[in-house]
Chains A and B, each alone.
Chain A
Amino acid sequence: MIITAKNLTKKYGQVLALDNFSLEVSEGRCFALLGKNGAGKTTFVKSLLGLVKSNSGELSLCGEKAGTKESRKEISYLPEKFSFYPYYTLEGVCEFYGKMKGLGGSELKSEVQKSLDRLGIGNLAQKKVKECSKGQLQRTGIAATLVGSPKLLILDEPYSGLDPVGVKELQDLIIELKNSGITIFLNSHGLDSIQKVCDDFAIVDDGKLLVQGNLKELVGEGSLLDYFYEKVGKA
């Protein structure tokens, strides 16, 4: 398992953001954590990255205790609203990400070019962040996360801000990445897009895990949106 959470509890004051939450994500799969706004998805991702500390329970990432420097060595994270210093070029953003992951020299250069090309923004390498459209910025964020060939990609609402063409291209890219062996953890409420790319999913509501399993087994040929509504509506 690349992610394991056991009885995770996180409180913000009196508000229970995660309530005895347990989850497992297998390597090489595309996994989606689904839930309404405020259900606990972002808190879980933040716990994984060590940005917030859980009150109790266990959480491991890539075989290491989540939140440690070691646990983040082989992962990449794309926040919902990707932003970077406006004066950086797109190439500069990717280079910075690569350097922070310990890359350098010719390896860094080739990784950056490869990532930008993969996202179809190789020709915009010298464009500055402040000159980018929302979609271009989102692509840059994804390109930056791919530098250094991570084992696990954590994408927080990756479809946010993308036009329909961008959504389709991102779906194709996620499938391509999954096929290349990268584990993808999606945190989203864009259910139609999720259904096209995910192998497994879990639904969280009010910090509690409602269901976790294989998409085909649980939903079959039906609609994930209907399934989600049925589960969350009844909760």
Chain B
Amino acid sequence: MNAVILVCQNTIQKEWRSKALLFLFVITFIILGILTAGLSYFNDNILTEYSMEAVATKALSMFFIFLNVWSYLISTYFGAGTVRSDSEQGVMAQMLSFPISRFEYLLGRLLGSWSLVMAYYLMSLILAVIGISLTVGKLILSFKLFIGLMLNAIPILVVIALAMTFALYLNMIQAFISTFLLTLILVSANGYFQETTVKVAIENLGVMKGLGLILYIIFPHISSWGDLANSFILDIEHKVPVLQEALHLAVTLPLLLAMIWALFRKKEV
């Protein structure tokens, strides 16, 4: 376990030092600045009939949607980057020459990247709450925000794991694009099959639909968990069957991690 913590710390340190996180914070800060400026303008010049609190909640929702999409891209970037840079700089061979198993190395890198993205996510959310609260003159903090944040940790972990898998075999750009496309396909399959009955799902099963169904069955449902997180943060109703999704996740997430480990075990460094 000590080795996992060390690799995890090293991941955080190396990504922090790469200044990528700082750049992302600056971008987030600019977006948030534009959002609060717009909110302030509305407050001073346009709004009369709506309550400021309702508008603030709407602004937070908008920011949260941006944050969600952005966090998946960041997950892809950190997931792919952490493995790829090790491989390209020759650090992976050095790391694996230590008394550490490949599983510990991979887990350390995965947890390190996950911690980074979650820290970015939390900080951005806190910034948004402060910024918007200051603009509207009322604290818009709710416990549901943090439940949403915790729920979003699941799709973030899945996207990081997918990116790491691609990065074992592809260069950074290829891994980034592949993860992005696979995530898009998974989200689409998730959206389609989640809404359909089993009967409809299996009738007229062509190649594409069959492939989508397989992906829907074997991969964790990124968008279901994202939707659930959104419903908490935006305080809206959700249609996600939570127990069913939790059971599916309990099977597919370990399966995904086991698949990555099996691939990495065979990988020649």
Contacts and interface: CB of A to CB of B under 8 A. Distances in A.
Given A83-B91, A85-B17, A99-B6, A73 B97 contact: no
Nearest to B10: A96
Interface string B101-123: 10000000000000000000000
A18 interface: no
A54 B3 CA distance: 26
A85 B14 contact: yes
Interface in B75-114: 89-91, 93-101
A218 interface: no
Interface stretch (A43-51, A172-180, A182-190, A206-214): A43-51
B2 interface: yes
A95 B99 CA distance: 15
A87 B17 contact: yes
B98 A72 contact: yes
A49 B13 CA distance: 26
Contacts of A102: 2, 99
Query: Contact size class for A?
Result: 20 to 34
B266 A49 contact: no
Interface residues of B, number: 22
B44 interface: no
A57 B97 CA distance: 21
Interface of A is mostly: loop
A90 to B, nearest CB: 15
B89 A53 contact: no
A51 B269 contact: yes
A51 B94 CA distance: 10
B133 to A, nearest CB: 36
B96 A84 contact: no
Given A51-B268, A99-B6, A102-B2, A70 B94 contact: no
Interface of B is mostly: helix
A49 B96 contact: yes
A107 to B, nearest CB: 15
B99 A77 contact: no
Contacts of B3: 100
Contacts of A234: none
Interface in A27-45: none
Interface in A57-97: 69-70, 72-73, 75-77, 79, 81-85, 87, 96-97
A51 B93 contact: yes
Nearest to A84: B91
A78 to B, nearest CB: 9
A109 interface: no
Interface in A146-174: 154
Contacts of A83: 89-91
B98 A51 contact: no
B268 A52 contact: yes
A79 B93 contact: yes
Interface string A185-198: 00000000000000
A73 B97 CA distance: 9
Contacts of B98: 72, 97, 100-101
Contacts of B266: 53
Contacts of B14: 85
Contacts of A49: 93, 96-97
Interface string B1-41: 01100100010011001000000000000000000000000
B269 A79 contact: no
Interface of B: 2-3, 6, 10, 13-14, 17, 89-91, 93-101, 266, 268-269
6 contacts: A49-B93, A51-B268, A51-B269, A77-B93, A100-B100, A101-B98
Interface of A: 46, 49-53, 69-70, 72-73, 75-77, 79, 81-85, 87, 96-97, 99-102, 154
Given A51-B269, A72-B99, A85-B89, 8 more contacts: A49-B96, A51-B97, A51-B268, A72-B97, A77-B97, A79-B90, A83-B89, A83-B91
